[in-house]
Amino acid sequence: MTDAHLSPRNIPDRLQGRGARILKSWESLLLVVAIAIFLGNSLASPYFLDPWNLSDATFNFTEKAMIAFAMALVIISGEIDLSVASIIALASTAMGYAVQLGVDTPALVAIGLGVGLICGMVNGLLITGLGLPSIVVTIGTMSLFRGLSFIVLGDQAFTGYPESFAWFGQGYFWWVFSFEFTLFVLLAVIYGVLLHKTNFGRAVYAIGNNQTAALFSGVRVARVKFILFLLTGLMAGLASICLTSRLGSTRPSIALGWELEVVTMVVLGGVNILGGSGTIPGVVLAALIMGMVTFGFGLLNVPGIVMSIFIGLLLISVIALPILWQRARRRLAH
Amino acid sequence: MKILKSLMVTAAVAVALMANAAHAENKKIALVVKALGIGFFEAANKGAQEAAKELGDVEVIYTGPTSTTAEGQIEVINSLIAQKVDAIAVSANDTDALVPALKKAMDRGIKVISWDSGVAKEGRLMHLNPSSSPLIGNMIIKLAADNLPEGGDVAVLSASATATNQNTWIAEMKKVQGNYKGINVVTTVYGDDLADKSYRETQGLIQSYPNLKAIIAPTSVGIVAAAQAVTDAGKIGQINVTGLGLPSEMAGHVKSGASKSFAIWNPIDLGYSATMIAYDLIGGAEAKPGAELKMGRMGTVKLDDNNEGAMADPFVYDASNVEDFAKIF
């Protein structure tokens, strides 16, 4: 601003000021909702505001949120990955099988991440290599991956994970901050930078807004998408390590139905289900909201089905509110 | 984010002390079930509430996940730990996956027991089985003998030949057969827990043994099929079908007379006993092999080497009570 005399005319590069934009954004709406839920919970139950209880509560969402970050990128690019929960099951089964052979913790982690990557690669190759729609492919691999897990395990369970493996799902990094929560914060930063500060992130938005235009602008669409599916696979592998460690056992029904909870988290976070827009801070807030609602209602011993209804209503109202708000403003303007 | 976090931390630290200070006078016992909305567990809750009323200073928290998943139960258990309940009595969706969460609960001074569907040994203080194999083996032959004062031929319709449960119960039944004079077990056939095969096997029994007086089917599929076959053959009154079955499926056959009585565990008693045992443990009783824990009107339960105990004989259902229980499960 000091050298304003150098440019006689100030041409704005955005339609609204930075402050106004932030104030009207989806994320600030979510922040208000999050604070309201936090205050509501604090008033409703004397047990909510306890560092250890809040720490326990984070386990309700950390694993799902890890996947949600990668899923947000996939959905922004106009695709979807419904096989993530099944990847958790398959990766967990592979780790459990390895335990029976006497494999130790570092190798178990490698196996978990490796199986996740391979599953992501299968999805990526089918979608970008053969050009199949991602929803069809991942519905297929959803059954395939969990089916493999069922073939190996049937109604049995793998147990006997080494003591040191328990740290990933039950250990604490520092004071009340669990390893999982620390990882969640770290991944939020990594994905935030990846989506909002890198060329790769811009390419993801470009593909989601107009794939053909992105292609003609020199964006390597297939490669970017392939990497996105690798990432969701890898994150599912990571979540599998955490969840398996937390449960200390593997059953083929592990993480059943999580794919929809992850997608719910992403959509609640303000990511357009049709692609093209959305932010990582939004997903972070959505994860916190879903975790707090589940925990807060749990403290009041509200039946789970009421929680589901509440999350559903929250989802619809948070999506509907901005649209209603815009309509109201337009009507007032006329 | 930043604001939320700093708010979370400061507020949390400030109020943590207050939360700790606030202590309820009532002892809080949580009855955690596989999923809400299942008749069997609603009945168990009824029993738990009955126990709470009898004890006076107990509040029962009846809770569970929406679907029968281990992850859902862990979320429920975490919120119970946060509420600082005194005891958790759980019917587990997964023997192993709940262990870390329940261990954490026990570390924080919560008494944890499992009932109905058990948890691995290291995740609970004791497990309450609804009944035991010897008690079941004795009950199924007693049901047949009670309606045959003069004795007679009795046949067994089991599930598959390799079914562990049924084989154990039949073996236990044969051990006590001598106590029931005149009861002659002529054969055991296998219906594989398939309705049509059980039906055909029963038809075979009726033709092969003209003096058959009773059929014992210690399987809920077999008992219904056998009762139907006896009805269709017009043998009601001549052949009594008994064994283990579900009231909702058997009510019609009890009404028609094809089955005079049958047995299965009573979920009300189960919820009642689990609550009573949890209360006994809160009061300082120790769960160790050989210990006897109090179950109120159900007497006491003696723990075996695995800290497991059997509640009671299977509960007998007949024309006097089957209609009421048919509404439950």
Kindly report, residue by residue over B97-107, the tens digit of the pLDDT.
999 999 999 99
Interface touch B100/A308, C-beta < 8 Å: no
Picking from A290, A55, A93, the residue whose alpha carbon sits closest to that of residue A177 is: A55
Retrieve residue A29's tokens.
Answer: 């709406």
Segments of chain A assigned E as strands? 172-174, 177-178
Rounded mean pLDDT of A279-301?
A: 92
Residue B22, judged by CB atoms within 10 A of its CB (0-12, 13-18, 19+), counts as: exposed
Considering only CB atoms, A49 lies closest to which of B16, B71, B104, namely B16
Picking from A154, A114, A321, A141, the residue whose alpha carbon sits closest to that of residue A252 is: A154
Picking from A190, A183, A185, A195, the residue whose alpha carbon sits closest to that of residue A73 is: A195
At residue B16, the pLDDT reads 44
Residue B18, judged by CB atoms within 10 A of its CB (0-12, 13-18, 19+), counts as: exposed
CA A261 to CA A218: how far, in whole Å?
A: 35
Q: Which of residues 23-52 of A touch B (CB under 8 A)?
A: 31, 34-35, 38, 42, 45-52
* Mutation target among B13, B79, B88, B122 for the A interface, most CBs of A within 10 A: B79
CA A116 to CA B283: how far, in whole Å?
A: 49
Instruction: Collapse the DSSP code of B111 into the 3-class scheme (helix H, G, I; strand E, B; otherwise coil) and give the result.
Output: strand
At residue A14, the pLDDT reads 65
Of A22-31, A86-95, A185-194, B309-318, the poorest mean pLDDT is in A22-31
CA A224 to CA B9: how far, in whole Å?
A: 39
B157, B228 in Cβ contact below 8 A? no
Picking from B246, B299, B201, B274, the residue whose alpha carbon sits closest to that of residue B47 is: B274
Say yes or no: A185 contacts chain B, CB-CB below 8 A: no
Rounded mean pLDDT of B304-323?
A: 89
A94, A115 in Cβ contact below 8 A? yes
Q: How far apart are the CA of A138 and the nearest CA of chain B, in angstroms?
A: 23
CA A262 to CA A290: how far, in whole Å?
A: 10
A105, A164 in Cβ contact below 8 A? yes
Interface touch B16/A56, C-beta < 8 Å: no
CB neighbour burial string for B285-304, b if at least 16 within 10 angstroms, e if fewer? bebeeebebbbbebeebebe
At residue A205, the pLDDT reads 96
- Interface A-B, measured as beta-carbon pairs within 8 A, has a size of 129
Kindly report, residue by residue over B6-39, the tens digit of the pLDDT.
545 554 444 443 444 444 468 999 999 988 887 7
Retrieve residue A214's tokens.
Answer: 């992105």
* Mutation target among A56, A243, A306 for the B interface, most CBs of B within 10 A: A56
Q: How far apart are the CA of A74 and the nearest CA of chain B, in angstroms?
A: 24
Tokens 């949120």 found at: A65
CA A259 to CA A264: how far, in whole Å?
A: 9
Task: Give the number of other Cβ atoms within 10 Å of residue A188's Cβ.
Answer: 20
At residue B20, the pLDDT reads 42
Kind and range of the H or E run holding B308: strand B308-310
Kind and range of the H or E run holding B226: helix B220-232
Considering only CB atoms, A298 lies closest to which of B9, B79, B84, namely B79
A261, A294 in Cβ contact below 8 A? no
Q: How far apart are the CA of B215 and the nearest CA of chain A, in angstroms?
A: 32
For every residue of B246-285, DSSP letters joined together read -HHHHHHHHHHTS-SEEEE--HHHHHHHHHHHHHHHHTT-
Q: Which of residues 162-181 of A touch B (CB under 8 A)?
A: 166, 169-170
At residue B19, the pLDDT reads 43
Interface touch A246/B74, C-beta < 8 Å: yes
Please tell me which residue, B181 or A123, carries the higher pLDDT value.
Answer: A123
Q: Which residues contact B201 (CB under 8 A, 6 or more apart)?
A: B157, B189, B190, B191
Helix A105-124 / helix A84-100 crossing angle, nearest 10 deg: 140
Retrieve residue A204's tokens.
Answer: 């993801």
Of A104-108, A142-146, B34-38, B107-111, the poorest mean pLDDT is in B34-38
Band of residue A304 on the pLDDT scale cut at 50, 70, 90: confident
**Which residue of B lies nearest to A284 if distances are taken between CA atoms?**
B1
Largest Cα–Cα separation, chain B: 84
Q: What is the mean pLDDT of chain A?
A: 90
Kindly report, residue by residue over A109-120, the tens digit of the pLDDT.
999 999 999 999
Identify the bridge partners of residue B315 per DSSP, sorted by sequence position: B264
A179 contact residues in B (CB cutoff 8 A): none
Q: Which of residues 301-320 of A touch B (CB under 8 A)?
A: 301, 303-305, 307-308
Q: How far apart are the CA of A131 and the nearest CA of chain B, in angstroms?
A: 36
At residue B141, the pLDDT reads 93
What region, left, alpha or beta, does residue A279 occupy, with left being phi > 0 and alpha being psi -120 to 50 degrees? beta
Task: Kindly list the residues of chain B whose beta carbon comes within 8 Å of any beta carbon in chain A.
Answer: 1, 3-4, 7-9, 11-16, 18-20, 22, 36-37, 61, 63-67, 69-72, 74-76, 78-79, 81-84, 94-97, 99-100, 104, 120
Picking from A51, A101, A111, the residue whose alpha carbon sits closest to that of residue A244 is: A111
B76 contact residues in A (CB cutoff 8 A): 298, 304
CA A162 to CA A333: how far, in whole Å?
A: 66
| A220 has a pLDDT exceeding 50 | yes
For every residue of A176-232, DSSP letters joined together read TEEHHHHHHHHHHHHHHHHHHHSHHHHHHHHHHH-HHHHHHTT--HHHHHHHHHHHH
Please tell me which residue, A104 or B40, carries the higher pLDDT value.
Answer: A104
CA B198 to CA B260: how far, in whole Å?
A: 19
Q: Could you give the C-alpha distances from B141 to B136, B152, B188, B259, B314, in angstroms and in order?
A: 9, 12, 13, 14, 12
